[in-house]
Amino acid sequence: TSFLRFVKNCNMHKFDTVYQLFEASYGKPAISVAAAGRANIIGEHTDYHEGFVLPFAIDAAIYFCAKQGNSNAAEIISLDFDEKYDANVVPIKGSWQLYVHGLLSDLKTRFQIIATPVILFGGNLPMGAGVSSSSALCCGLIEVVNILYDLGLTAIEKVKWASEIEHGTGVRGGKMDQYAICHGQAGKAMLLDCRSLSHKDISLPETWQFLLLNTGVKHNLAFTAYNQRRQEAEDALAELNKHETGLVTLRDATVDQVNHWLEKGSLYHRRALHVVTENKRVAAFELCAQMGDIRNAGRLMNQSHESLQNQYEVSCEELDFLQQQAAKCNSIYGSRMMGGGFGGCTISLIQEVDERDISIIRQAYLKKFGLLPDYFTVHPAPGLVHYG
């Protein structure tokens, strides 16, 4: 189907495979759901400061087939990990089973439902690549139980629940990923205000496309400095509030305030400066999209990378290298690290896939890091899809 438009597809599960495997073992599923991953064009590490982001749900997803079980234990299987959830074992940090664990215990405490569903899932969403496979997993599982147990959840309730389950695994993430997945529509990006948790649809010029290059460096946010960065930025806000009043989050601060009150080049200054300038870049990007100004849109993405690299310090050598290589290519207008950072993918703004440019970047990366990076284009797609 047109749902899958990877330039280079990975050898992973598709909807048909998940469906057939389910049917062979359990009969016809009662429900089938897809939960997409997400890309973020610009606005990074701003969501948990109630700032602005510009993500979209992508055309790669995790597929779930499910029905109510009749045994007294849940039967939940990940095809990608080739593992079955075991309620008697406390899941290890970073494991997919932690999310299932969170979901089932919330069902018990909040909804008084002892759920024993049968769920089989697998997909073509690269894991640990910064396309939010963990949020896709949470949102997909929530959608499954939402229908199976008739919970009547709204999109925002799903976003909040998914985010809480993820917080339960130790990462103090924002809500951009879950929001993009629960609201994603074909052909639309969204300008999300993370304070009001509402968005404006953004129709990008038809010729604009996004290319992801995967460093292959797996990042697990829980084991990185993600929480530390958040804390440092919140401490920077506390410092600002010694001089200013009414700054609820860094979203409320201006560039002038940051430059005036925080010592230039200090840790607090750099962390805060990233957030306030990144929020401005999101607004500027929206204007570029409206005017079809791809050159300036690309420049904003490059500036975003520079800020994430030097001010917020969430990049890594591999991401910086891919970004620098991309910046040299005529077919690429701008490029930056995407998502939490410390690994994962870069996102680049292009009009056409130029295989020569991509090959130059990949070969250079191979020479330096001994690995040929995967690449694929992503397109705005529906975030949660029901089949049948």
- Our CB check for ligand GLA shows the closer of 106 and 177 to be 177
Among 102, 340, 343, 373, binds ligand GLA (CB under 6 A): 340
Show Cβ contacts of residue 81 under 8 Å, excluding neighbours closer than 6 positions. Answer: 96
Neighbour order of strands in the sheet with 345-350: 332-337, 345-350, 209-214, 375-378
Pattern of binders to ligand GLA over 77-116, x per CB under 6 A? ----------------------------------------
The least CB distance from residue 242 to ligand GLA, in Å, is 26
Q: Is residue 232 a contact residue for ligand GLA (CB under 6 A)?
A: no
Smallest gap from Cβ 338 to ligand GLA, in A, equals 8
Q: Which is nearer to ligand GLA, 29 or 55 (CB)?
A: 55
Residue 52 CA to residue 280 CA, distance in Å, equals 9
Pick the closer one to ligand GLA by CB: 47 or 252.
Answer: 47
Shortest distance in whole angstroms from residue 134 CB to ligand GLA: 8
- CA neighbor of 135 nearest in space, from 81, 171, 89, 87: 171
The strands making up 384-387's β-sheet, listed across from edge to edge, are: 83-84, 75-78, 117-123, 55-68, 31-40, 384-387
> Nearer Cβ to ligand GLA, position 32 or 279?
279
Spatial neighbors of 283 by CB under 8 A, at least 6 apart, are 52
Q: Which is nearer to ligand GLA, 74 or 301 (CB)?
A: 301
What is the pairing mode between strands 189-193 and 332-337? unpaired
Given candidates 13, 45, 188, 362, which one binds ligand GLA under the rule CB under 6 A? Answer: 45
CB closer to ligand GLA, 18 vs 237: 237
Name the segment binding ligand GLA (CB under 6 A); options: 39-47, 91-99, 354-362, 380-388. 39-47
**Structure tokens belonging to residue 22:** 């389910």
Report how far Cα 254 is from the mean position of its chain's Cα atoms. 27
Which of 44, 50, 232, 313 binds ligand GLA (CB under 6 A)? It is 44
Q: How far apart are CA 266 and CA 380, in angstroms?
A: 38
Nearer to ligand GLA, 299 or 336 (CB): 336
- Closest contact distance (angstroms) between CB of 157 and ligand GLA is 18
Instruction: Please select the residue that binds ligand GLA; options are 22, 48, 85, 321, rule is CB under 6 A.
Output: 48
Per CB under 6 A, the segment of 40-48, 60-68, 92-100, 104-112 that binds ligand GLA is 40-48
Active-site annotation holder among 59, 106, 177, 252: 177
Using CB under 6 A, which residues numbered 134 to 193 contact ligand GLA?
173-174, 176-177
CB of 161 to ligand GLA, least distance (A): 15
Quote the CA–CA distance of 297 and 361 in Å, as a whole number.
21
- Quick one: which of 19, 39, 47, 140 contacts ligand GLA (CB under 6 A)? 47
Q: Which stretch binds ligand GLA (CB under 6 A): 43-51, 111-119, 151-159, 269-277?
A: 43-51
Active-site residue, 106 included: no
- For the CB of residue 325, give the shortest distance to ligand GLA in the complex, in Å: 22
Q: Which is nearer to ligand GLA, 148 or 192 (CB)?
A: 192
Give least dist CB 36 to ligand GLA, A.
Answer: 14
Residues 6+ apart with CB under 8 A from 347: 39, 40, 41, 210, 211, 212, 301, 335, 336, 337, 338
Minimum distance between the CB of residue 291 and ligand GLA, rounded to whole angstroms? 25
Query: Which residues form the catalytic set?
Result: 177
Footprint of ligand GLA (CB under 6 A): 44-45, 47-48, 132, 173-174, 176-177, 339-340
